């Protein structure tokens, strides 16, 4: 297993467009997390899944954001009507247990112009 894979690595989009990111976790990991990171800050929690169930969402996840994890495998994060403030690195992580041993992907860097 090559770890957590995120696609695309970079995305440039115009304000108002919709974008979708994909995360493929480590296959045996049942927990999957999405974080957002802006320049100079640590990652901020957005949401997490246990298998296919989305169990927690941050207030940072406005109604323009939606995440899915069909069949408890890969996950997608969609941002509708992007705004310049959405420009950030979007990180996905997976784990078998809570708290430690998270494996992060290399992230998708979104630039909204």
Cβ closest to another protein, residue 2 vs residue 14 = 2
With left for phi above 0 and alpha for psi between -120 and 50, is residue 92 left, alpha or beta? beta
Cβ closest to another protein, residue 74 vs residue 104 = 104
Closest by CA to 105, choosing from 35, 30, 17, is 35
Cβ closest to another protein, residue 31 vs residue 80 = 31
Give the pair of three-digit tokens for residue 92: 């996905």
Residues binding another protein (CB under 8 A): 4, 31, 33, 35, 40-45, 48, 50, 55-56, 58, 91-93, 98-107
């Amino acid at each position: 297993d090559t770890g957590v894979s995120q696609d695309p690595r970079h995305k440039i989009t115009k304000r108002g467009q919709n974008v979708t990111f994909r995360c493929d976790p480590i296959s045996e990991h049942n927990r999957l997390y999405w974080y957002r990171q802006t320049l100079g800050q640590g990652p901020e929690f957005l949401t997490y899944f246990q298998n296919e169930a989305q169990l927690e969402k941050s207030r940072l996840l406005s109604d323009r954001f939606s995440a899915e994890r069909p069949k408890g495998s890969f996950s997608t994060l969609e941002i509708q009507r992007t705004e310049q403030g959405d420009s950030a690195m979007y990180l996905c992580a997976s784990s078998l247990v809570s708290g430690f041993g998270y494996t992060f992907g290399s992230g998708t860097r979104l630039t909204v112009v």
